Amino acid sequence: MKASWRTILLWALPALVIGFFLWQGSFAPTPATVGKNTASTRMTYGRFLEYLDADRVKSVDLYDGGRTAIVEAVDPELDNRLQRLRVDLPGNAPELVTRLRSSGISLDSHPARNDGAVWGLLGNLVFPVLLLGGLFFLFRRSNNVPGGPGQAMSFGKSRARFQMEAKTGVMFDDVAGIEEAKEELQEVVTFLKKPERFTAVGARIPKGVLLVGPPGTGKTLLAKAIAGEAGVPFFSISGSEFVEMFVGVGASRVRDLFKKAKENAPCIIFIDEIDAVGRQRGAGIGGGNDEREQTLNQLLTEMDGFEGNTGIIIIAATNRADVLDSALLRPGRFDRQVQVDVPDIKGRLEILNVHARDKKISDDVSLEVIARRTPGFSGADLANLLNEAAILTARRRKEAMTMLEIDAAIDRVVAGMEGTPLVDSKSKRLIAYHEIGHAVIGTLVKDHDPVQKVTLVPRGQAQGLTWFTPSEDQGLISRSQIMARIQGALGGRAAEQVIFGDAEITTGAGNDLQQVTGMARQMVTRYGMSDLGPLSLESQQGEVFLGGGWTNRSEYSEVIAARIDGQVREIVAHCYQEACRIMRENREVIDRLVDLLIEKETIDGDEFRQIMAEYTVVPEKERYVPQL
């Protein structure tokens, strides 16, 4: 309603002013049309003198100081009927009055009215008055809008969005997949509702809770759920809203925010993306006395300074806890750090159940199967997945989502939009051999993840894709598993070389080689899985803006660096030789699979393993069976 009233006023002001002046110009009285004495027919001054000489003039009324006259005269052309005529008199004819009196003509003079000056004064005043009144009305109504024009000079005021009763529409039942974090935060809600339960045993309310986790895991949603469950005043602000171009503005906004919070205690302050203002101090190149550090100092003082903030709980969210200042993370400011991780299969199933409430899903769709197929997906990814499937369902004019739409949505979320299918050519056959090479390695190497499907349908930048079903949430990966993944990534290049020769090797393995090099180097420098022994040789040097040094000095000698490079090449070469051996030993089944892939464009993982089993022994792989 506020926006509509301002819009109406902005349109009404110009229309009102224009209408006033049109009315003034149309209806303001003129000297010749005042009162009852009006005349619509004009007569020249010369003809008036002729009528006067012929004794046809009966009466004369003078207006406008003697410059205009209304004359009653007998017109012989109209059968001597009496007619009222208007005559413009010259300003320098004083003898006319004497002549009229000597002729015995009825003469009357009407003084000039000052209505024109009054209307002119009103016309000059009405526009400034309306303009000032409208601007005052706009500024007054915009005072309640954060960042509105009425607050143009209120730089130091907090821009936090405030709700006296936090009706966020989100409760703990709407947050799924992060049960450990919910249990930690449930105590905060209980403390706000029933503080006597904790104070009776000497416990004090935590001052701050820091939610740490990857993007899309539900940190902001958790804060809304806490506010909705507790039912206390809720202040919500982003860390970037503290920092401005003007020095001291951020610190002033922090003071103003905590002042308002003290007036409404007990309450919750939620600071989203706190890393925007809470980065490590002393990391700036030009010195530490900048606006951001002053804002952080003020925040530290307000959270745990000389004056306590009883009843104020600060909840902050970030996905970069490693860049935060150590003084901000200590107990007394943020007493708890709650890790909000990517959900496991049970959490993903709960999240899918929450987001599937308002969507039409076919009865043959199993959310458990979707949860198994989406390891590593966050809550935001799963919400986007079901939304993409719903859009695809509407595009295909179906009544409800099926597994076909969900499978297509998973492929789109992971790999990108589907492209135009390739035409049957040498390039398509080469890509088919490349993808079959990946799939054959993934099937015959015991420690590799099983193949889910192989496709020649382009997605994103990839002309073909081989999908694997990774084991669920492995916290630890063995050396044999890393070696198997390196062999699987080299399977496409090995197939190109064995089938087509060195001259026909393409650039299709560029991304694979980057992954291979990264995994092999981490085996040597981070995990100690090489002949160099159990040493961590990876440099831990920080970046300059995080307070690290200027130089990127290695922590080992050039001799060790050469040995690292040699170990990396040895690991990659060994895996590549094994991949080429597997390609040569299974040439017959590879050719059959390529022909089938070109024909069907997509081969399912079960069908792929069934064909492979007809030609060779497919090792049994351990399947992860989740406990739901």
> Would you name the residues annotated as active-site residues?
435
Q: What distances in angstroms separate CA 595 from CA 176, 454, 459, 588, 621, one per listed residue?
A: 45, 13, 21, 11, 27
Q: What distances in angstroms separate CA 474 from CA 224, 489, 517, one per listed residue?
A: 31, 19, 21
3-state SS class at 417: coil
Strand partners, 234: 163, 268
SS3 per residue for 135-158: HHHHHHHHHHCCCCHHHCCCCCCC
Side-chain half-sphere exposure of 7, counting CA atoms within 13 A:
4
Alpha helices, DSSP H, located in 162-241: 179-193, 196-199, 219-230
In terms of phi and psi (left: phi > 0; alpha: psi -120 to 50; beta: otherwise), the region of 248 is: left
CA distance 238 to 219: 13
Cβ neighbors of 531 (< 8 A, separation 6 or more) are 567
- Selection from 239, 254, 262, 231 nearest residue 163 by Cα: 231
Q: Where are the beta strands (DSSP E) in 64-192?
A: 68-75, 81-88, 106-109, 161-163
Burial of 538 (0-12, 13-18, 19+ CB in 10 A): middle
Cβ count within 10 A of residue 320 = 14
Number of residues that make up the chain: 628
CA distance 241 to 221: 20
